[in-house]
């Protein structure tokens, strides 16, 4: 699975310290086949990140609400979910969904899955579930920081518990939760690279491919690094914009 | 309109409401006073079941609160509650604070709800603040918005828990005068307050609470002139002393 490190190449070859005279060649990855590989990797990484952010936020919201529910079985379910997902390595979870999950499914479903992009689905599920646990806890602490009088005011007006959450508590809690949420979204985007281990052809996977075909590892991973950096900046920037907007609109002093 | 029959409530071992029997008729303004910790807030909060009762019967606007089948959200929609700390929704504008419940609960159209909100804002003298946020308002203004927000549901009963206690003295008047107008319009009101001027002028009846019981219940002119119990006399004396 793992090709030998390039240092081994140079050591083993008669050319000895060739590594020092490494010949930089950016053109090879900036056009043609290898460029296309990297671009397709970027696309998959973006898809994974975007879908993961949306889904993990929604799932995190649901888990947070269940965790705070007055209904005990919901609380227990949420707690079990949180303990399992936060206390096991993401890589193991990725393998679990990739190698383990289909054993639980009926064969017909599996046959169908194989015609689909199963790696992508398994990777996305693992990333979503893993990240949602952290998001749920962030949202919960945001909710806990809203004075209980807000819930009382909402309930007094005649809103049910869930409606009070929806219209009054969560909008305020999410606002407080934006900075930790940015962190979780960044983590998700970066963690998406781990899905290469189950063959999701995302950016890191493609950079690796380019490296093993061209031995231009430095160029390929520099490019990958820059793309991840850019992605992180974009996420941070968008969340910052969102934050500024709501601060301007809602908390004007 | 509101009927307490032998109501009890405990917080753990603390007997906060001890055999409360009270009857508030439609259009009546009842003022509740008493020393700190005597159970005034707990009493008023049982009326919209922010605090459930442990024993006895409590019937509000024909709905029996001791009956599990009573739709508590429906009851609360009919009962406006004004808090000491206003508790406006900080993330919503004044207008949205007022229109949220009518739109979401009563299914009033947005346009209609906003028109009604403007009428209410006019009534509390704050039409120019419709787009402001709670943090931009003074305490007195926030409390008047809170009253408008409660009124927007066209409640049958209004409850006030020390609505002026958190206000600077110069803002108390503006809130009391809104409440006075409301009383004149025939609203059924239960008001926990230490504003004895308000009680004298507006209340039909004053209830004095001590240690979880209703110790005295009388018309304001009777209560203020001639309180029956030492505790009440002490309380009034303290209230009227300049040191208070
Ligand atoms: N949620 C609660 N849990 C336990 N004890 C409580 C709770 N709320 C109130 N109490 C206690 O019940 C008693 C009555 O409280 P309550 O708030 O009804 O008094 P109050 O007459 O409104 O006093 P104040 O004038 O200070 O507002 C007090 O001793 C208080 O400490
Ligand atoms: Mg009180």
B47 touches chain A (CB under 8 A): no
The residue whose CA is least distant from atom 9 of ligand 1 is B42
Ordered alpha helix ranges (H), A145-197: 148-157, 161-164, 170-191
| B chain contacts of residue A149, beta-carbon cutoff 8 Å | 83, 85, 87
Q: State whether A158 and B74 contact (CB < 8 Å).
A: yes
Note whether B187 and B158 are within 8 A (CB).
yes
Indicate which of B90, B137, B146 best probes the interface with A, i.e. most A CBs within 10 Å of its own CB: B90
The residue whose CA is least distant from atom 12 of ligand 1 is B16
Residue B244 is predicted with a pLDDT of 47
Q: State whether A163 and B149 contact (CB < 8 Å).
A: no
Picking from B192, B145, B177, the residue whose alpha carbon sits closest to that of residue B36 is: B192
Note whether A198 and A44 are within 8 A (CB).
no
Q: Which ligand is in closest contact with the Cα of B239? A: 1
Ligand 1 atom closest to residue B45's alpha carbon, by position in its atom list: 18
Is A205 a member of any domain?
yes
Dist. CA A170–CA A148, nearest whole Å: 13
Q: Which ligand is in closest contact with the Cα of B51? A: 1
Residue A11 is predicted with a pLDDT of 52
Question: Count of residues for chain B?
Answer: 244
Percentage of chain A exceeding pLDDT 90: 65
Is A161 a member of any domain?
yes
Nearest CA in chain A to B93: A250
Q: How far is CA B136 from CA B38, B88, B140, B164, B244, in A?
A: 34, 12, 12, 19, 30
Q: State whether B105 and A168 contact (CB < 8 Å).
A: no
Q: How many other C-beta atoms lie within 10 A of the C-beta of residue A213?
A: 13
Q: State whether A157 and B149 contact (CB < 8 Å).
A: yes
B89, B105, B135 member nearest A253 (Cβ): B135
**Which residues have CB under 6 Å of ligand 1?**
B 11, 14, 16, 34, 36-42
Q: State whether A158 and B88 contact (CB < 8 Å).
A: no
B242 pLDDT band (50/70/90 cuts)?
A: low
3-class secondary structure, A35 = helix
**In this predicted model, what pLDDT tens digit does every residue of A71-118 receive, in sequence order?**
999 999 999 999 999 999 999 999 999 988 777 778 877 777 777 788
**In this predicted model, what pLDDT tens digit does every residue of A140-170 receive, in sequence order?**
999 999 999 999 999 999 999 999 999 999 9
Instruction: Please name every residue paired with B9 in a beta bridge, in sequence order, or none if there are none.
Output: B17
Lowest mean pLDDT among A21-25, A36-40, B34-38, B101-105: A21-25
Is A2 a member of any domain?
no
Is A89 a member of any domain?
yes
**In this predicted model, what pLDDT tens digit does every residue of A34-77 receive, in sequence order?**
999 999 999 999 999 999 999 999 999 999 999 998 899 999 99
Rounded to 5 degrees, φ, ψ at B155 are -70, 160
Is A59 a member of any domain?
yes
Ligand 1 center to B212 CA (angstroms): 10
Is A12 a member of any domain?
no
3-class secondary structure, B2 = strand
Reply yes or no on whether the pLDDT at A10 is more than 60: no
Dihedral sign (CA A93, A94, A95, A96) = positive
Picking from B58, B89, B187, B192, the residue whose alpha carbon sits closest to that of residue A250 is: B89
Dist. CA B94–CA B121, nearest whole Å: 9
Residues of A with CB under 8 A from a CB of B: 149-150, 152-160, 163, 167-168, 171-172, 175, 246, 250-253
How do B2-11 and B55-60 pair as beta strands? Answer: antiparallel
| B chain contacts of residue A148, beta-carbon cutoff 8 Å | none
Q: What is the CATH number of the domain that holds A171?
A: 1.10.3720.10
pTM equals 0.84
Reply yes or no on whether the pLDDT at B82 is more than 70: yes
Is A1 a member of any domain?
no
Beta-carbon contacts of residue B113 (< 8 Å; ≥ 6 apart): B98, B99, B102, B103, B152
Is A186 a member of any domain?
yes
Rounded to 5 degrees, φ, ψ at B60 are -125, 120
**Residue B155 CA to its chain's centroid (Å):** 12
**In this predicted model, what pLDDT tens digit does every residue of B46-74 receive, in sequence order?**
999 999 999 999 999 999 998 888 999 99
| A chain contacts of residue B151, beta-carbon cutoff 8 Å | none
Q: Which ligand is in closest contact with the Cα of B38? A: 1
Q: How many other C-beta atoms lie within 10 A of the C-beta of residue A92?
A: 11
ipTM comes to 0.92
Residue A225 is predicted with a pLDDT of 95
Picking from B39, B62, B65, the residue whose alpha carbon sits closest to that of residue B52 is: B65
Note whether B172 and B143 are within 8 A (CB).
no
Note whether A229 and A237 are within 8 A (CB).
no
B90 touches chain A (CB under 8 A): yes
Residue A4 is predicted with a pLDDT of 63
Q: Token pair 């002026």 is at which residue?
A: B164
Which domain does A129 fall in, by range? 23-252
Picking from A203, A240, A243, A241, the residue whose alpha carbon sits closest to that of residue A225 is: A203
The answer for B 124-183 residues in CB contact with A (under 8 A) is 133, 135-136, 149-150, 153
3-class secondary structure, B185 = coil
Q: What is the domain count for chain A?
A: 1
Rounded to 5 degrees, φ, ψ at B16 are -80, -35
């Amino acid at each position: 699975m793992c090709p030998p490190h390039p240092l081994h190449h140079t050591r083993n070859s008669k050319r000895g310290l060739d590594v020092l005279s490494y010949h930089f060649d950016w053109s090879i990855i900036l056009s043609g086949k290898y460029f296309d590989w990297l671009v397709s990797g970027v696309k998959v990484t973006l898809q994974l990140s975007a879908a993961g952010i949306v889904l993990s936020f929604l799932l995190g919201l649901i888990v947070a609400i269940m965790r705070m529910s007055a209904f005990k079985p919901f609380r227990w379910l949420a707690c079990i979910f949180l303990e399992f997902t936060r206390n096991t390595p993401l890589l193991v979870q990725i393998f679990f969904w990739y190698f383990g999950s289909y054993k639980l499914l009926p064969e017909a479903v599996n046959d169908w899955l194989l015609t689909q992009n199963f790696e992508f689905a398994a990777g996305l599920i693992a990333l979503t579930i893993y990240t949602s646990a952290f998001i749920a806890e962030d949202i919960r602490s945001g909710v806990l920081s809203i004075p209980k009088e807000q819930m009382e005011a909402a309930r007094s007006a005649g809103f049910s518990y869930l409606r009070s959450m929806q219209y009054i508590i969560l909008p305020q809690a999410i606002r407080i939760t934006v900075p930790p949420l940015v962190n979780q979204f960044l983590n998700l985007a970066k963690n998406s690279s781990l899905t290469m281990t189950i063959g999701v052809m995302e950016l890191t996977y493609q950079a690796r491919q380019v490296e093993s075909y061209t031995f231009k590892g430095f160029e390929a991973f520099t490019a990958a690094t820059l793309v991840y950096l850019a992605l992180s900046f974009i996420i941070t920037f968008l969340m910052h914009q969102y934050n500024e907007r709501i601060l301007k609109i809602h908390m004007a002093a | 309109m509101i009927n307490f029959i032998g109501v009890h409530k405990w917080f753990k071992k603390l007997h906060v409401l001890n055999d409360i029997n009270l009857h508030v008729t439609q259009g009546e303004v009842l003022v509740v006073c008493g020393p700190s910790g005597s159970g005034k807030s707990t009493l008023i909060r049982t009326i919209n079941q922010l605090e459930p009762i442990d024993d006895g019967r409590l019937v509000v606007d024909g709905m029996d609160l001791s009956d599990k089948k009573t739709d508590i959200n429906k009851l609360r929609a009919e009962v406006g509650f004004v808090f000491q700390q206003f508790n406006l929704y900080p993330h919503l504008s004044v207008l949205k604070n007022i229109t949220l419940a009518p739109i979401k609960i009563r299914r009033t159209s947005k346009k209609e709800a906003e028109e009604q909100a403007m009428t209410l804002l006019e009534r509390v003298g704050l039409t120019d603040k419709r787009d402001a946020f709670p943090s931009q308002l003074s305490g007195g203004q926030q409390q008047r918005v809170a009253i408008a927000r409660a009124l927007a549901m066209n409640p049958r009963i209004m409850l006030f828990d020390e609505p002026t206690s958190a206000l600077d003295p110069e803002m108390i008047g503006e809130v009391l005068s809104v409440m006075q107008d409301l009383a004149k319009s025939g609203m059924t009101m239960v008001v926990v307050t230490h504003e004895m001027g308000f009680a004298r002028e507006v209340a039909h009846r004053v209830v004095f609470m001590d240690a979880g019981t209703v110790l005295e219940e009388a018309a304001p002119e009777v209560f203020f002139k001639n309180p029956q119990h030492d505790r009440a006399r002490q309380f009034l004396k303290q209230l009227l002393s300049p040191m208070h």
